[in-house]
Structure 1
Amino acid sequence: MQKKVKVLVGGVFDIIHPGHIYFLKRAKELGDELIVVIARDSTVIKKKGRKPILPENIRKEIVEALKPVDRAVLGYEEGDIYKIVEEVKPDIIALGYDQDLDPKELEKELSKRGLNVKVVRIDKYNHKLAATRRIISKIVQEVCANEKENRNC
């Protein structure tokens, strides 16, 4: 029996948009099983300087329901990616175009830890609404255009 190829990805996945779907589909094509690590709220605050719109458990539930995803797990509070990689033991890690890790450096660091994992980068999905910040801006713009008396606009 042939071993299933496990692919691991990670991200915030706040307000799912076409870029997320593209990323997850491309990652799933790399193997048989796609495991998604959802960033903890505390990690998002540390890295992005803001709270996510949706809490971590809701983001996990939404991602788990997506067709390409076999399993979603919450990351660790301290954001230690190596700990989760050691637990999941993926064959491949797929990085998003906007994730600041260097694939070769990550492969080297994983190798030092006795983990033989291929690291690849998924290309960008080009669409004007393929970013959470853009979607939030569009929502605010539309609400303000339709509610001229709204004091928050």
Structure 2
Amino acid sequence: MKKLVNRKELRAACGRLAAQGKKIVFTNGCFDIIHKGHVRYLRQAKKLGDVLIVALNSDRSVSRIKPGRPVNSEKDRAEVLSALQMVDYVTIFDESTPYKLIRSLKPHVLVKGGDWKKEEIVGSDIAKETYSLPYVKGASTSGIIDKIIRANR
């Protein structure tokens, strides 16, 4: 199964999966440098349904949110996410938020990390269930980048 798909392909897949009674889980993010917090989070997200979709911020989208980033290209980030067993589909979005994508896909469940309050999660007005999963203390891409910078001074 091809994991990296465009919106049209993903919309069609979601329609088929929903018709089969599958519970679709959606999350999004930059996933710039994958770490244990990401892995734990994605495992927990997958347990909330049958199919896990990860919408990945494009390079342009990441740079608007986090100046000087991403470290890894969208192509590389998508390949790493696609290699993770718990991830069923990956798609790239260029907007500041995935609201239009969520509205188009109509997932049953929305998931974000614990640094997001449930009521602030984009698309929570669309999905039947919304979760803010626990944050893994000490696991952050920014922390990894800072550590590398300090070590190379």
Please state which band the TM-score falls in when normalised by the shorter chain.
0.7 to 0.9
Partner of 1:59: 77
Is 1:92 aligned with 2:109?
yes
Q: TM-score, normalised by structure 2?
A: 0.78
Is 1:78 aligned with 2:95?
yes
The unaligned stretches of length 5 or more in structure 1 are: 145-152
Task: Choose from 46, 53, 73 the match for 2:64.
Answer: 46
Q: What count of residue pairs does the alignment treat as equivalent?
A: 135
Cα 1:140/1:73, change in 2 over 3 Å: same
- Whole-angstrom CA distance in 1 between matches of 2:70 and 2:96: 15
> Which of the two has higher C-alpha Rg?
1
Cα 1:55/1:100, change in 2 over 3 Å: farther
Identity %: 33
CA contact (8 A) 2:28 2:57 kept: yes
- Whole-angstrom CA distance in 2 between matches of 1:6 and 1:48: 29
Query: 3-state DSSP class of the match of 1:102?
Result: helix
- Whole-angstrom CA distance in 2 between matches of 1:13 and 1:64: 12
Is 1:35 aligned with 2:53?
yes
Partner of 1:14: 32
- How big is the shift at 1:99? 3.5
Cα 1:32/1:139, change in 2 over 3 Å: same
Query: 3-state DSSP class of the match of 1:78?
Result: coil
- How big is the shift at 1:90? 0.7
Which one-letter code corresponds to 2:105 in the other structure? V
Is 1:131 aligned with 2:140?
yes
CA contact (8 A) 2:54 2:89 kept: yes
Q: TM-score, normalised by structure 1?
A: 0.78
Q: CA RMSD in A?
A: 2.2
Query: 3-state DSSP class of the match of 1:21?
Result: helix
Deviations 1:3-30 (A, max 9, x none): 1100000000011000100110110010
Deviations 1:103-131 (A, max 9, x none): 58843xx3xxxx443211111112x3x11
